[in-house]
Amino acid sequence: MRNADIAEFIANHGVDLSWQDSFYQWMHENPELSLQEEQTAKHITARLAQMDCEVTTGIGGYGVTAVFRNPSSEATSADEPTVLMRADFDALPVQETTGLPYASKNDGVMHACGHDMHAAALMGLCAVLDERRDAWHGTFIALFQPAEEVTAGASNMINDGLAEKIPTPDVCLGQHVLPGRLGTVMSAPGPVLAACDTITIKLYGKSSHGSRPQESIDPTFLAAMIVVRLQGIVGREVAPSDFAVITVGTLSSGHTNNTIPEDATLVLNCRFYDTDVRDKTYAAIERVVRAECDASGCELPPEFEYSAHGELTDNTPSTFEHVRPVFDAVFGEDSIDAEPWTASEDFSEIPRHFDVPYLFWTIGTTDPELWASGEPVPGNHHGAFAPRIEALGTSTDAALAATLSYLFRS
């Protein structure tokens, strides 16, 4: 009954969200790279200023929180539940090729991972909660997080004293848009997003004039051998039933045509669902890189820098069991099981910091006919990634559904 009531409320909440599309499109047109999201944070704060909530800005960079209490006093009973929902809002160094009327105005920067939609949906949820205080009770925290793409935003907010700036949540929620049939809400218990790390490898060769390779230790040839041999780790050292990705996202060596450079840089992105596989693979990567440097006769050892660490996103089973029936009630056959997604997220650092359960789900954004056709659909991080704007409604409803599964005044 309660779940049906929540569904009924979501279908008929009566709050005017007509501003939401342009709020979203402004973000899409004005993408900002990670750690530089100044204008985006202002855009968010300006809208929150119209609501009855406690806004904190500048947390760990451009992080923003808004605390909604109901009744709206600090005296909310300790018995009342506190729910945190997080949306990220940074963009990527990708050239947009969607041709959308609201395509990016910032050359080479794009909201190619849908964070604009995450933020707009969370803002819609805030608006409904703000105007329909009759329908819920307890405390809701909207957390707008910057710098997700560089796996820095969550930890920056935490390290900047997040726990002192907001009430302690009982549960944390998050969502992500991706290719999939428009309107679907995908959820699952357990591991849903991979663990990841960025490994930056600096190789030190020896420079020479391009015509005298015998006086050089060519770091470009060395880097190429490493790139080739890294895939040998995946094919020969990882069990075929285990999940491991080693992607060289950047290879940069040399600046001119006729000088063999002094050094080269590789930036790797690695993903796993299992810590043992990860540890074995990192050991193999370091072994291969060091040995290839020896094979080239390098005089200096390579340097490894691990960064952008992302933990496994591992949905709490009890949280899934609590929220999923509400999704089923609200979305019917569009509430489906999520396959594990190979991407990674720093969302889960927040609930882990508070030591509370969490759920992270995904939203399909692809035209149903296109999806059914089996034709390739540009994915996240691709310059042609273009979520259908209708997915903004789905995202808002999913956010409402999960939040109200805890806060609905039945």
The question of whether 339 is a catalytic residue gets the answer no
CB-hemisphere CA count at 13 Å for 89?
A: 34
Residue with tokens 């991080």: 381
- How far apart CA 188 and CA 232 sit, in angstroms, is 33
Which tokens sit at 146? 């910057």
The question of whether 21 is a catalytic residue gets the answer no
Residue number, 245 or 336, with CB nearest to its own copies:
245
The helix/strand/coil state of 299 is coil
Residue numbers 315-344 binding its own copies by CB under 8 A: 339-344
Asked if residues 67 and 87 have their Cβ atoms less than 8 Å apart, the reply is no
The count of residues interacting with its own copies (CB under 8 A) is 89
- How far apart CA 380 and CA 94 sit, in angstroms, is 11
For the bound state, the minimum distance from the C-beta of residue 55 to its own copies, rounded and expressed in Å, comes to: 31
For the bound state, the minimum distance from the C-beta of residue 286 to its own copies, rounded and expressed in Å, comes to: 11
For the bound state, the minimum distance from the C-beta of residue 302 to its own copies, rounded and expressed in Å, comes to: 12
The reply, when asked if residue 149 is annotated as ligand binding, is: yes
* 275 touches its own copies (CB under 8 A): no
The reply, when asked if residue 381 is annotated as ligand binding, is: yes
* 373 touches its own copies (CB under 8 A): no
- How far apart CA 242 and CA 312 sit, in angstroms, is 15
Asked if residues 253 and 243 have their Cβ atoms less than 8 Å apart, the reply is no
Residue number, 163 or 228, with CB nearest to its own copies:
228
* 362 touches its own copies (CB under 8 A): no
Residue numbers 25-54 binding its own copies by CB under 8 A: none
Residue numbers 211-270 binding its own copies by CB under 8 A: 211-216, 218, 220-221, 223-262, 264, 267-269
- How far apart CA 250 and CA 182 sit, in angstroms, is 33
Residue number, 12 or 257, with CB nearest to its own copies:
257
CB-hemisphere CA count at 13 Å for 403?
A: 31
For the bound state, the minimum distance from the C-beta of residue 388 to its own copies, rounded and expressed in Å, comes to: 19
* 154 touches its own copies (CB under 8 A): no
Identify the sign of the CA torsion 43, 44, 49, 55: negative
Query: Which helix (H) or strand (E) covers residue 68, if one does?
Result: strand 63-70
- How far apart CA 281 and CA 294 sit, in angstroms, is 20
- How far apart CA 196 and CA 194 sit, in angstroms, is 6
Residue with tokens 């990708």: 94
The reply, when asked if residue 353 is annotated as ligand binding, is: no
Catalytic residue selected from 32, 90, 311, 397: 90
Residue number, 78 or 212, with CB nearest to its own copies:
212
Pick one of 196, 312, 391, 407: the residue that binds its own copies (CB under 8 A). 196
- How far apart CA 400 and CA 410 sit, in angstroms, is 15
Residue number, 55 or 227, with CB nearest to its own copies:
227
Pick one of 58, 295, 303, 369: the residue that binds its own copies (CB under 8 A). 295
For the bound state, the minimum distance from the C-beta of residue 219 to its own copies, rounded and expressed in Å, comes to: 9
Binding site for Mn(2+), by residue number, is 113, 115, 149, 176, 381
Residues annotated as part of the active site: 90, 148
